[in-house]
A and B are shown apart, each in its own frame.
Chain A
Amino acid sequence: MTTTAIISGADERIPKASPLIKMLRRPEVGAAVAALAIFVFFSLSTQTFLTPAGVSTWLYSSSLFGIMAVAVALLMIGGEFDLSAGAMTGTTGLIVGVITTEWGVNIWLAMVIALLAALAIGAGNGYVVMKTGLPSFIVTLATFFILQGLNLAVTKLITGTVAIQGMSVVPGFDAVKIFFGSSFPFLGMDLKISVVWWVILVALASWVLLRTRAGNWIFAVGGEVTSSRQTGVPVMKTKVGLFMTTAGAGWLVGMLQLFDVSTVQATTGIGQEFIYIICAVVGGCLLTGGYGSAFGAALGALIYGMTLQGIVFAQWDNNWLKAFLGGMLLLAVLVNLYVRRQAGVR
């Protein structure tokens, strides 16, 4: 009796997924478990981690990485990388800093100029990748080096130093600071406004991904680009849009940093691009595209932020962070591999 049942169902040749496997298929589950574990660990092992000041510190740190990680996750789901994302946070901050302090440009106008520049660079990345068919890894690596060089060279050329000074005396600085650099009391914490931006962006990105046509296209172009073309998905538009989104997020983080500390270094953001990618991967994004979630990437950033500050609170050697990060990444990739095998694809 049992045998016949198996044979009659055998033409599907799919084992019925257990509820546990179904849950594990959610891209963000691994990250959620890890985030919880790290939260509990540092809460118990340090005095400061769970205090209002402690929480607001790691939330702020997570939010800056989180905003970028969410944008990078969208791009990765769309099947591309952006290694220039880190340098972009520096570039946009420097543009605003240089043209307001040196040339007296209106601060709001300066921000618009920086945003347009970022979007143009993002569109350029996307356009070159799509037109040439080169891997985005290479194209944006080039952009990364170009931006890194320009950030230093141009800043030095115009200001004579490698950091922007006198930002806080620029007219209108305090008005802009309300939106990008202020903090407000929340549940006894002194919460930075960037956390609000982060939450809004995660919600927005999740909504776009799961509930709009654009989101459908992002999954499709990352999953199987030929099929997407055949079914009429605007592949070029989708991918260029994603590169512009990442660049736009770079602008936002650039502003959040600039108006928080009133200065910007020419080396800002360098070396962070891989952290965004790691956050996205830890949050369940596949390196090969077509799978992942914005919420997962946010959890990835939360893990990174909590660990970064937790290690400080625990007064450990800061170098442990990198080793931890590598370990997390490897673990995440292994979980992803398992998920992919369960889904029976590629």
Chain B
Amino acid sequence: MTGKISSVTPILEMRDIGKTYGSIIALQGVSASVGEGEVLCVLGDNGAGKSTFIKILAGAHQHSGGTLLVYGKERRFSSPREALDVGIATVYQDLAVVPLMPVWRNFFLGSEMTRGVGPFRRLDVKAMRTITMEELAKMGIDLRDVDQPIGTLSGGERQSVAVARAVYFGAKIVILDEPTSALGVKQAGVVLKYIAHARDRGLGVVFITHNPHHAYPVGDRFLLLKRGTILGDFTKSEITIEEMTRLMAGGAELEALAHELERSTGK
């Protein structure tokens, strides 16, 4: 491992993780760790094994080799619920929100707060509104109105509501699956800002992306995957954004392509 060695136990640690689907090796020998207030960026092109990586962490698939440690204790998740129970929340691209419902109802969906007993058990609307407002403020989102349908928020804001929700319901590690890929430059910037917020609150963030320009500004460590194995594992001080882009795109291949294109355009 080329990365810095943390003195405290990381929240999440993967040692030599591998995953095979039948005879196909999807992931092999991948090691990584995330601590409190750390952002681990997982980069890779299509087919690099990013999805497999997330699915193992999120509990959707079990790893077939290596060990997965949460707070130093070995774990093997058999369902997303189990991953959630130890504090690993995954925010998928579709965000699991209901567009027509107000922000606060989305925030508490499935885990509503209630008051009263028996037939008089009712939603604690006031508390839920207040908490939503507070939790979003902690993420740096200042909503005018938590009653507006969540569909009216921008993509970046919706993403951060999903993150805030995960955090409020006990997540220690938030896995973000390509949160910026569908967004424009400005909106992606908004999401990056929220990732930084989450990090500053002491959460571990696993940020999956294929865009080095999104990863570099917020990441502490960078795990580059290619064809199911580690292409590189760096801390921020060990690599520049140019090197990272080069590595990801396949370095020499890209240069060869550049030369070829230059010739064909007649320069």
Measured CB to CB, the residues of A under 8 A from B are 11-14, 207, 211-213, 215-216, 219-220, 223-224, 226-228, 230-233, 286, 290-291, 343-346
Q: Is the CB of A216 within 8 A of B100?
A: no
Contacts of A230 in B (CB 8 A): 92, 96
Q: Is the CB of A231 within 8 A of B101?
A: no
Q: How far is the CB of B253 from chain A (nearest CB, A)?
A: 37
Q: How far is the CB of B122 from chain A (nearest CB, A)?
A: 5
Given contacts A216-B108, A219-B100, A220-B98, 7 further A-B contacts (CB under 8 A): A11-B154, A14-B152, A211-B122, A219-B98, A219-B101, A233-B110, A343-B149
Q: Is the CB of B123 within 8 A of A213?
A: yes
What are the 5 A-B residue pairs with the smallest beta carbon separation, nearest first?
A: A345-B151, A231-B110, A232-B110, A223-B98, A345-B99
Q: How far is the CB of A292 from chain B (nearest CB, A)?
A: 10
A74 to B136, CA, bound (A): 31
Contacts of B237 in A (CB 8 A): none
Q: Cβ of B7 < 8 Å from any Cβ of A?
A: no
Interface string of B78-102 (1 = CB under 8 A from A): 0000000000000010111111110
A86 to B42, CA, bound (A): 57
Contacts of A213 in B (CB 8 A): 112, 114, 121, 123
Q: Is the CB of B110 within 8 A of A291?
A: no
Q: Is the CB of A216 within 8 A of B112?
A: yes
Known: A211-B123, A344-B151. A227 touches B187 (CB 8 A): no
Complex partner residue of B121 from A14, A212, A216, A343, CB under 8 angstroms? A212
* Chain B interface, number of residues (Cβ within 8 angstroms): 30
Q: Cβ of B111 < 8 Å from any Cβ of A?
A: yes
Q: Is the CB of B186 within 8 A of A11?
A: yes
Q: Is the CB of B154 within 8 A of A216?
A: no
A231 to B97, CA, bound (A): 9
Q: Cβ of B249 < 8 Å from any Cβ of A?
A: no
Contacts of B99 in A (CB 8 A): 223-224, 343, 345-346
A286 to B156, CA, bound (A): 27
Q: Is the CB of B154 within 8 A of A211?
A: no
Task: Across the interface, name the chain A residue whose C-beta is closest to B165.
Answer: A231
Contacts of B96 in A (CB 8 A): 226-227, 230-231
Task: Across the interface, name the chain A residue whose C-beta is closest to B102.
Answer: A219
Task: Across the interface, name the chain B residue whose C-beta is closest to A346.
Answer: B99
Q: How far is the CB of A203 from chain B (nearest CB, A)?
A: 14
Contacts of A227 in B (CB 8 A): 94-98, 109
A14 to B96, CA, bound (A): 22
Q: How far is the CB of B186 from chain A (nearest CB, A)?
A: 5
Task: Across the interface, name the chain A residue whose C-beta is closest to B123.
Answer: A211
A344 to B121, CA, bound (A): 33
Q: Is the CB of B98 within 8 A of A228?
A: yes
Q: Is the CB of B110 within 8 A of A345?
A: no
Q: Cβ of B199 < 8 Å from any Cβ of A?
A: no
Complex partner residue of A228 from B92, B109, B152, B190, CB under 8 angstroms? B109
Interface residues of B in 236-257 (CB under 8 A from A): none
A286 to B152, CA, bound (A): 17
Task: Across the interface, name the chain B residue whose C-beta is closest to A219.
Answer: B101
Q: Is the CB of B109 within 8 A of A290?
A: no
Q: Is the CB of B112 within 8 A of A290?
A: no
A346 to B99, CA, bound (A): 8
Contacts of A344 in B (CB 8 A): 149, 151-152
22 inter-chain pairs at a CB distance below 8 angstroms, sorted by A residue, are A11-B187, A12-B157, A13-B154, A14-B152, A14-B153, A211-B125, A212-B121, A212-B122, A213-B112, A213-B114, A219-B101, A220-B105, A220-B109, A224-B97, A226-B94, A227-B95, A227-B98, A228-B98, A232-B110, A290-B101, A343-B100, A346-B151
Known: A232-B111, A233-B110, A290-B98. A216 touches B123 (CB 8 A): yes
Q: Is the CB of B97 within 8 A of A290?
A: no
Contacts of B109 in A (CB 8 A): 216, 220, 227-228, 231, 233
Interface residues of B in 118-165 (CB under 8 A from A): 121-123, 125, 149, 151-154, 156-157
Contacts of B156 in A (CB 8 A): 11
Task: Across the interface, name the chain B residue whose C-beta is closest to A11.
Answer: B186
A219 to B100, CA, bound (A): 8
A45 to B138, CA, bound (A): 60
Contacts of A290 in B (CB 8 A): 98, 100-101
Contacts of B94 in A (CB 8 A): 226-227
Contacts of A291 in B (CB 8 A): 100
Contacts of A216 in B (CB 8 A): 101, 105, 108-109, 112, 123
Interface string of B150-188 (1 = CB under 8 A from A): 011110110000000000000000000000000000110
A286 to B121, CA, bound (A): 28
Q: Is the CB of B154 within 8 A of A345?
A: no
A250 to B112, CA, bound (A): 31
A135 to B140, CA, bound (A): 42
A232 to B110, CA, bound (A): 5
A346 to B156, CA, bound (A): 18
Q: How far is the CB of A296 from chain B (nearest CB, A)?
A: 15
Q: Is the CB of B149 within 8 A of A12?
A: no
Contacts of B123 in A (CB 8 A): 211-213, 215-216
A215 to B112, CA, bound (A): 11
